[in-house]
Copies of this chain bind each other. A is one copy, B any other.
Amino acid sequence: MPVNLSAPDPSKLFPVAGVRIGVAEANIRKPGRKDLTVFLLDEGASVGGVFTRNHFCAAPVQLCRQRLDERQPIRALLVNTGNANAGTGEDGLRRARDTCEALAALLNIRPAQVLPFSTGVIMEPLPAERVVAGLPAAIADAQPDHWARAAEGIMTTDTVPKAVSARAMVGGAEITITGTAKGAGMIRPNMATMLGFLATDARVDQALMRQLALELAAGSFNRITIDGDTSTNDSFIVIASNRAANAPITALDSADGQALKRAMLAVARQLAQAIVRDGEGATKFITVRVEGGKTPDECRRVAYAIAHSPLVKTAFFASDPNLGRILAAVGYADIDDLDQTKIELYLDGVHVAAQGGRNPAYREEDGQRVMRQAEITVRVHLGRGSAADTVWTTDLSHEYVSINADYRS
């Protein structure tokens, strides 16, 4: 059961001019499943991306990186579920190239103008022939208002499709932003999430797109964790179709650039949080906020130590205010000169620990009350500076074990 998350209302997902989406059933792993999605971009779109830092990155990630580095004018994204095409060596690269070539031939573009994405089981050969056989149906299905279908088409263990839209005034014109993402396990994105696609019709210089993708990921997908496992396939793509009437954005730190980033970040953050809300076996949505650090980096380290601790996560699952486990995680977060007598811990508004020990005014029933909520903020103050950072995570439940013990069967 996802935490306060329901499927998007298709009528509230705005089309992005210049982007059409088609979905098909290609029987890649299981029959009767929407498992193939194409994003078709009109000529002139700006595209940037960030990808997993996992050295075992999948074949499609390798091709995406290469094609974006070469500044190829991207015209299509090809996404399959059911198979990650990771841990598949040279053969995997060849199969990924084959699918791009097939799509390029059907669209009369060059293969290097196609970005491939795969998600699913690792270390099994991609059934490229089924992907290729499904392409005509996916292309025939392509429409600008198919974002809800895209959100379904890229799901794996997700229980709810994830898509978000927004409109904003940027550079003197209204622009539209719509995005979709998938992911529920193997989530500790490092540069990006499992798969995230964010499009706007705004006019944005191609030269800004990589940096834009990096900055958006830093404030959204790079601040979430479910199980601490950084995937082999994490990919986050930002598209600007350049069809809106805004004054073209040529610098991200300009007023217009900042307005665009703010609007896009709000959408990216909702998508990232949706991944956490739909985290495998999640029953709680936990915000971990660490303040009073010397640097944001050390705050993030402490936040991730808390967010990854199986003992903290099982205590949240049990609604048990066994909050010493949070202090223990703060203590092993590898901050050399941490002074435990400066640590303050809050659970929502409840002041649990003061000066590194139990707050004398803390009453167990107050902790218990907060722990029963579906959404909880853990706030730690390190008492050594003014930096802060936030990550979002879930609890660890029986259901997580069941899902991951049974995933392939």
Contact = CB atoms under 8 A, between A and B. Distances in A.
Contacts of A53: 332
A254 B167 CA distance: 75
Nearest to A358: B123
Contact of A405 (B314, B331, B353, B407): B314
A56 interface: yes
A325 interface: yes
Contacts of A397: 401
A343 B87 CA distance: 10
Interface string A261-286: 00000000000000000000000000
Nearest to A403: B314
A324 interface: yes
Nearest to A352: B123
B122 A328 contact: yes
Interface in A301-338: 308-311, 314-315, 317-318, 320, 322-325, 327-332, 335, 338
Interface stretch (A20-28, A73-81, A223-231): A223-231
Contact of A310 (B122, B327, B343, B404): B404
B87 A327 contact: yes
Interface string A367-409: 0000000000000000000000000000011101110111111
A327 B56 contact: yes
A57 interface: yes
Contact of A322 (B89, B121, B357): B121
A247 to B, nearest CB: 41
A313 to B, nearest CB: 9
Nearest to A339: B55
